[in-house]
Chains A and B, each alone.
Chain A
Amino acid sequence: MGSRTTTGSTFPPTRLTVLERIRSEEPDERRRAFGPLVEGYWKPIYAYLRIRWRLPPEEARDATQSFLAAAWEKRWLERYDPGRARFRTFLRTCVDRHAMNLGQAAKRLKRGGGAAIVGLDFETAEGEIRERPIQDPVDQDELFRREWIRDLFSRSLEEVRLEHVTTGQAGRFALFERYDLGPEEGLSYADLAAELGITVSQVTGRLAAVRRAFRARALDNLREACGTHDEYRVEAREIFGIEVA
């Protein structure tokens, strides 16, 4: 699964959402819309099945694949009604229903089909789950939301990292990683400036630039994962405290 190359954080409010495109009668358009949804949700679905449903890795992998295949073939996602719930809540309830049905009829488990599923790296996903203590919050919607945001941020961060590496600005990203992702106790801008031989203002500026890039990328990815533009606005407000157009 390669990273996308979308840039910038602004877009016309009238642009069709992914869900509007997935309802298209044009098979190619529908297939193109399905890809970002798979990309944005397969890992939270896998983590959710592992943690909430306590499926072993192999079963969680098969269940994720079969869910996505069925969602494509049976056009489940097109039934989403924005007036009733957020898209991710709708998706999570679909996953619950699917997992329940699988439990009752394991034979129906199947993979692939004609779905636009790209190579999903389940081994990495499993490794990521094992890296952190598995906590199962009481609220299943909160669990799915937490995994979804984790994946959204991880993908966005990786895209920003690649962007900085390929443009010869790996040092700038490393500064951000050190200060914002692994804050050392008592580390100040002045400490960093002295260590790197730059001014405090330059530290501020470099951190701000990477933060800005991350925010733009995360908003792009968030927009792709929301059912409607209104939902995108609400999610942006709740996750970042940002008002978007």
Chain B
Amino acid sequence: MTALSDASVRRLAEVANLPDLSETRYTLLEEIGRGGMAAVYRARDETLGREVAIKVSSAPGEREDLDARMRTEAAVLAALEHPGIVPVHDAGILPDGRAFYVMKRVRGTLLREVARGAAGLDERLRILERVCETMAFAHARGIVHRDLKPENVMVGGFGEVLVIDWGVARVPGAVDEPGAVLGTPGYMAPEQAAGRSGDATERADVYALGAILSTLVTATEPPADPGVARAALLAERELPRRLRAIGAKALAADPIDRYADAGEMAADLARFRAGNPVAAHPESWLERTGRSVWAYRAAVGLVLAYLVMRIVVAWVTG
């Protein structure tokens, strides 16, 4: 027995967990991502001659719960044909016992990077609106993502927005283990954090969308406590009041006070971006007037200039 070099030890640790694609039509190229429960690899589909992404469970035949999640995720993705959701091409069990599915290889940037970058407010809100629309599509089919966060949204090179990682999604009829906490602190609705992930409805996803909004507009991580998260967003005085109201409504501690689903939030974001009143913030007469004046500031300016000129002319000509 010879001693292994440091490089050999590293190499062994890597290869020991490589998925066994020997009885499939795919050739492994490289690992492109890893989460707690699965890894994603770039691979080549030899039959169709194209690159794909393969997600493989990190539990080689040992964790039935993780394999079940992979199967659920593949089924969810297959059921949701939408431009905001990565299409699935294939799924199954590898010779080494691990669950896998094959999807379109998407090239892009995670929303986390967008949040840290130089994108303007409207671009950030456009992305969030697309996420809300995708989630509205899923919610209409009874599917709740339960782990929405900036790491699970990808923005493609042509501006397309994709919601990824549906591994802990709730599908109609499925039952969770009691007490299971599924989600990510800061983005997880209080009912999920309390171990009632099985009770997580569309409104839990709305909470996460509110937390993503907070991240996008403040460039800071949302606090795990919903009261603190909501107060922190409302304290951002440089943000328009209507936008803060949208975030605050989504981040309400009580699910009943949130948007009923992502579609409602998408509609409010669209109204905000168009300069219209939003459902989250009933305006006073003064606010409505001020917003209208601002929206038509060019025309109002011309009218005011004309009136001033008439007054000056009248005064000069006596």
Chain A positions within 8 Å of B, measured between CB atoms, are 9-10, 124, 127-129, 131-132, 146, 149-150, 153-155, 157-158, 180-181, 183, 189, 200-201, 204-205, 207-209, 211-212, 214-215, 218, 239-245
Contacts and interface: CB of A to CB of B under 8 A. Distances in A.
Given A183-B11, A208-B20, A153 B62 contact: no
Interface string B1-26: 11111101101110111101111000
A128 B2 contact: yes
B95 to A, nearest CB: 7
A153 B66 CA distance: 26
A149 B9 contact: yes
Interface in B12-44: 12-13, 15-18, 20-23, 27, 34, 36-37, 39
Interface size class of B (residues with CB under 8 A): 20 to 34
Nearest to A47: B3
B9 A124 contact: no
A241 B57 CA distance: 10
- Report whether over half of chain A's contact residues are helix, strand or loop; otherwise say mixed: helix
Contacts, number: 105
Nearest to A213: B16
22 contacts: A146-B9, A149-B9, A150-B4, A150-B6, A155-B1, A157-B1, A157-B12, A158-B1, A181-B8, A204-B20, A207-B15, A208-B18, A208-B21, A209-B20, A214-B12, A215-B16, A215-B17, A241-B34, A242-B60, A242-B62, A244-B59, A244-B62
Nearest to B38: A243
A230 B29 CA distance: 33
Given A240-B16, A243-B63, 8 more contacts: A128-B2, A149-B13, A154-B2, A180-B11, A208-B20, A211-B20, A239-B13, A243-B57
Contact of A214 (B1, B16, B34): B16
Contacts of B18: 208, 211
**Of B1, B63, B96, which is in contact with the most chain A CB atoms at under 10 Å from its CB?**
B1
Interface of B: 1-6, 8-9, 11-13, 15-18, 20-23, 27, 34, 36-37, 39, 57-63, 66, 95-96
A244 B59 CA distance: 6
Contacts of A154: 1-4
Contact of B96 (A157, A183, A201, A208): A208
B61 A240 contact: no
B12 A146 contact: no
A180 B61 CA distance: 23
Contacts of A129: 3
Top 4 A-B pairs, shortest CB-CB distance: A128-B3, A205-B22, A208-B20, A243-B59
Contacts of A204: 20-22, 27
Contacts of A181: 4, 8, 11-12
A240 B59 contact: no
B58 A131 contact: no
B160 to A, nearest CB: 30
